Amino acid sequence: MIVPMKKVFILLQAKDAEGALSNLRAMGLLHIEHQQPPKGEDINLLQNDLSVIANALEIISGNEEFKEGSLDKKESLADWKYTAQHIIDLQKRLSYLEDYARTLKSKIEEWRQWGDFDPLQIKALEKNNIFIGFYRIPLKEMSLLPETVAVEKIFIKSAVAHCMITSLGKVGIPFKEIPLPALSLNQMQQRLEEENKVVNLIKAELKKEISFYPALFEKKQQLQKELEFHQALGGMGKTGEIVYVSGFAPVETEGMLLKAARGNQWGVLVREPSAEDNVPVLIKNPAWIAVIRPIFKFLEILPGYRELDISLLFLVFFSIFFGVLIGDAGYGLVYILLTFLLQRKARKKKLDTGNFFIFYILSFCAIIWGVLTGTFFGQEWVLKAGYKPLAPVLTDETGLQRFCFFLGALHLSIAHGWRAVLKAPSLSALGDLGWMCVLWSAFFIAKTLILGDAFPSFCIWLLISGVALIILFTNPQKNILKSLEEWIAWLVTLPLSFMSNFADVVSYIRLFAVGMAGVAIADAFNAMAAMIGKGNMFMIMLAAFVALIGNALGIVLGPVSVLVHGVRLNLLEFSGHMGLSWSGSPYKPLKE
């Protein structure tokens, strides 16, 4: 459920502002709403410090040694600024040297076939009126060179002669001269070796800095909290010697805030948020519903404060969608095993493991669907082996499509049913009941048009009833005479809304299409493996490899299809009928 909030104003003398905010931060209840853009020298300094430490942490986390998990040794920090800046300076020097080394390698490759020579000696010969130049000249144009020059073909590539031309005095050559390198080939190779040695030394130094990551990360969190504090201080409203801070706090914390205000002699005003307020959202649910929270966090979505929390429905239907889209008990077992291994690894690092439970639930749903349909790393071989599916209707294409249409009508009807319950006893609730009638009419129409089922006679009356309820009760408070233009405009767009409802119900067929495609891919690879795996041991191993590749493809692409289709059906189709905009901002109280 979405926790109800109170709008809180606290007034105090300017001299007590910092102490009051320290007390509020210790309480950790008030989500601050700035009265003016926070600014000040302290804020600028903290932002600069955060930029430095974030840069240093990014450099460390990008180190290959860090990716391998070498955080066994955790060092404390004596001077975090020196350490962070040292890491940044090392990275800058490393980047410069690596760029220079790449340039040297390119130059070495460019001049390797020319041989080794000293560019300085060539330039010194010019004082004696001896000029040496390097050119690329097409073989068919060699005759254009003056007869007074000596030409040495160093090598020929793609009908182009790479030549050294020597002349007494400056002679006009009708081709572009290749600029000499700054160093000889031998000098470039020596310099590259030296640069590589320095690069390795810097990398070794950066590797040592990995041990400072936990301390730097902790310092970054402290700086972020300090920045929040100073932003709250700088964002306070001010009138003469009186300053005030406003924000939002959960209803159940009102008594604590009033008690703190009395104890510190603050002026305080607590009221209901207005329609114009951007109220933050705090969702609290029982643990068995809260397992869906990692999905919301990953998608970065929150319902608006005045909207509904659909966590339970999202969990139920997202789990069903996952089971249908993955649809393979073998894949479900693989996901459970991967989840167990990752959870075990996180537990060893003493990280929060609560986020893993949703993946156990989703994997279990895939196993259930696989058992119902007889799908275990593919379906065809399981059925041929004699396994009888517990729900054979779900193995039939028509039966599965019928189930998807039913699931869509049910899912969307729940949205309108919930809205009707919230609107009751207002007559506008009947408008949502009308949309439920239209949705189930769309279900029967879809079965008739797409699956060829007989169209039930009562469906006509169901559709007529739904249309009548929608027209009469969607906006019963409006006077049709006073808002005739609005009514006409609404009636004109109403057929489009009916078509949209039909399309929304039919869109659930994506569950059938994607789920069956996954099974078909697995069956295709299994069939190829069966054809190959005859004869010697090598062919059997090759067949096992083909089957492994096919099923690995399904295991990897399955979750992607869930994110694309399973999430869409909840966030677009269902939320559209529910009236959810997902415009909420998270509740983030000022706290230590």
Residues 102 and 217 in one domain: yes
Instruction: Tell whether the model's pLDDT for residue 341 goes beyond 90.
Output: yes
Q: Is residue 519 part of a domain?
A: no
Q: Is residue 370 part of a domain?
A: no
For 482, the token pair is 């006073």
> How many whole angstroms separate alpha carbon 565 and alpha carbon 361?
18
Contact at 8 Å (CB) between 279 and 303?
A: no
- Res 436: pLDDT: 93
Instruction: Tell whether the model's pLDDT for residue 481 goes beyond 60.
Output: no
Residues 272 and 125 in one domain: no
State the average pLDDT over residues 339-367. 89
Which is nearest to 474 in space by CA: 581, 579, 580?
A: 579
- Res 49: pLDDT: 92
Length of the chain: 592
Residues 241 and 223 in one domain: no
Burial 552-572 (b: 16+ CB within 10 A, else e): eebbeebbebbeebbbbbbee
* Residue 271 φ then ψ, to 5°: -145, 170
Residues 93 and 141 in one domain: no
Q: Is residue 433 part of a domain?
A: no
Contact at 8 Å (CB) between 558 and 549?
A: no
Q: Mind listing the pLDDT tens digit for each residue in 405-417?
A: 999 999 999 999 9
Instruction: Tell whether the model's pLDDT for residue 95 goes beyond 60.
Output: yes
Contact at 8 Å (CB) between 10 and 237?
A: no
- Res 239: pLDDT: 85
Residues 29 and 60 in one domain: no
Residues 61 and 172 in one domain: no
Q: Is residue 197 part of a domain?
A: yes
**More confident of the two residues 134 and 526:** 134
What CATH number does residue 12 fall under?
3.30.70.240
- Return the H-helix or E-strand segment holding 284: none
State the average pLDDT over residues 209-225. 89
Q: Is residue 325 part of a domain?
A: no
Q: Is residue 366 part of a domain?
A: no
* pLDDT interval class at 68 (50, 70, 90): low
Residues 71 and 200 in one domain: yes
Instruction: Tell whether the model's pLDDT for residue 73 goes beyond 60.
Output: no
- Spatial neighbors of 579 by CB under 8 A, at least 6 apart, are 307, 419
Q: Is residue 167 part of a domain?
A: yes
Q: Mind listing the pLDDT tens digit for each residue in 166-179?
A: 999 888 888 999 99
State the average pLDDT over residues 127-140. 91
Which is nearest to 553 in space by CA: 508, 522, 512?
A: 522
* Residue 89 φ then ψ, to 5°: -65, -40
Residues 141 and 158 in one domain: yes
Q: Mind listing the pLDDT tens digit for each residue in 282-326?
A: 999 998 898 999 999 888 889 999 999 999 999 999 999 999 999
- Residue-by-residue DSSP string for 234-267: HT-EEETTEEEEEEEEEGGGHHHHHHHHHHHT-E
- Res 74: pLDDT: 58
Residue where one domain finishes, among candidates 215, 244, 279: 279
Residues 84 and 121 in one domain: no
* Residue 311 φ then ψ, to 5°: -55, -45
- Res 492: pLDDT: 67
3-state secondary structure of 77: coil
Residues 61 and 205 in one domain: yes
- Res 477: pLDDT: 53
Q: Report the chain's terminal Cα–Cα distance, integer Å.
A: 26
Instruction: Tell whether the model's pLDDT for residue 198 goes beyond 60.
Output: yes
- Res 319: pLDDT: 94
For 21, the token pair is 């905010």
- Res 480: pLDDT: 46
Please give the C-alpha separations between residue 169 and each of 1, 149, 165, 584, in angstroms, as whole numbers. 91, 10, 12, 80
Q: What pTM, to 2 d.p., does this model score?
A: 0.78
Domain hosting 23: range is 1-35+235-279
- Res 347: pLDDT: 87
Q: Is residue 175 part of a domain?
A: yes
Rg (CA), the chain: 36
Total domain count for the chain?
3
> How many whole angstroms separate alpha carbon 36 and alpha carbon 31?
15
> How many whole angstroms separate alpha carbon 125 and alpha carbon 19?
80
State the average pLDDT over residues 362-371. 94
**More confident of the two residues 73 and 265:** 265
- Res 76: pLDDT: 65
Residues 173 and 271 in one domain: no
Q: Is 305 exposed, middle or buried (0-12, 13-18, 19+ CB in 10 A)?
A: buried
Instruction: Tell whether the model's pLDDT for residue 217 goes beyond 70.
Output: yes
Residues 93 and 80 in one domain: yes
Please give the C-alpha separations between residue 432 and each of 271, 333, 460, in angstroms, as whole numbers. 33, 41, 18
